[in-house]
Structure 1
Amino acid sequence: MKTEYITPFLESAATVIEQVCNVATLRGELELKEVSLREDHVWIMVGLVGQFSGDVLFGIHREVALKIVSAMMGGFPIADLDEMGKSAISELGNMISGNASTLLYSRGVQIDISPPILVDESAPPTFSGKALSIPLTLGEMGQMEVQVLVIN
């Protein structure tokens, strides 16, 4: 699995989060591991097709997701991830993935992305295989995890 597939998603996530939340980001260590969806997290899944196929998953602890949605809504306090909050956090995944696909294109890799899907913990999709995974620290807000699962 090529690490150049995950780099544009990390670059894009850092840029988008820094702009939307006004926080500095810091990358953690890259790992190759089994795809896993941790509990108490909001998972945004975006499908990838083109020169390679797969999925990118953004995992955000619920408390961090509430902070991000609050920042996206101008600092308005958010207590629960209602439909508006789910829409906002899905749009975050769309912004990151759209920017990443532009970065990939500028590097000679053409992909298309699907609309983001919030993955429900009660009925998560089944994944098999290994993903490139890296945590991204969002200032004092907490962490987000980026997992890229490439099928071909």
Structure 2
Amino acid sequence: MKAEYINPFLESAKIVIEQVIQIRPSTGQLGIKDIKFVENYIWIQIGINGQMNGDIVFGLSEQVALKMVSAMMGGYTVAVMDEMGKSAISELGNMISGNASTILYNQGVRVDITPPKVIHSAQTAGFTATRALTIPLIMEGIGELDIQVLLAS
């Protein structure tokens, strides 16, 4: 697994979060870890097909997701992750991945992305825990968003 695979998603996530959430995130430590699906956590899974194949999974606690959705709604406090909140957080993942696929295209890597799938519980994950290249984005006053890359090639 090559670290440069995560860079377009990291770069895109920083840009999108700064535009949509109005916070400049800082970058945590790059690493490889086992993905464990736990309760009170939300994952946004996006498939990648083409010259790279696999999944990008954005992971965040439900509390962080609620704060991000509230910021996306112009500061309106969102207390429960309902369908509107899931739609907003899904769109955030879609924007990040769409921008990243453009970055990859400009680097000569052709990929298509699938629509985002919001996973709100471990039982509905649909794939088993695996090792992933991961890097957290730290948003002051909000929390962390983990970017996890699971690539087959």
1:94 Cα deviation (Å)?
Answer: 0.2
Q: Normalising by the residue count of structure 1, what TM-score does the alignment of the two structures yield? A: 0.95
**Partner Cα separation in structure 2 for residue 27 and residue 99 of structure 1:** 18
- Structure 2 gaps of 5+ residues are none
Alignment of 1:48-59 (within 5 A): 48-59=48-59
Following superposition, the deviation at residue 128 of structure 1 comes to: 5.2
Flag the 1:43–1:129 CA change in 2: closer, same or farther, 3 A.
Answer: closer
Partner of 1:88: 88
Shift of residue 120 of structure 1? 3.3
Q: Distance in 2 between matches of 1:129 and 1:24?
A: 30
| Aligned residue number for residue 7 of structure 2 | 7
For residues 30 and 10 of structure 1, the distance between their equivalents in structure 2, rounded to whole angstroms, comes to 11
1:37, CA displacement in angstroms?
A: 2.6
Equivalent positions of 1:2-151 (< 5 A) are 2-121=2-121, 122-127=123-128, 129-151=130-152
- Supply the distance in 2 between the matched residues of 1:92 and 1:108 (Cα, whole angstroms): 25
Question: RMSD of the TM alignment (CA)?
Answer: 1.2
Contact 1:37 1:59 in 2 (8 A): no
Higher mean C-alpha displacement, 63-72 vs 30-39? 30-39
Q: Which region of structure 1 is more displaced relative to structure 2, 37-46 or 88-97?
A: 37-46
Higher deviation after alignment, 125-134 or 3-12: 125-134
Unaligned runs of 5+ in 1: none
Percent identity over the alignment is 52
After superposition, the C-alpha distances for 1:75-125 in whole angstroms (9 at most, x for unaligned) are: 111010111111000000000000000011111111100000011313222
TM-score, normalised with respect to structure 2:
0.94
Q: Given residue 144 of structure 1, which amino acid in structure 2 is its aligned partner?
A: L
What is the SS of the residue equivalent to 2:76?
A: coil
Structure-2 separation of matches of 1:40 and 1:71 = 20
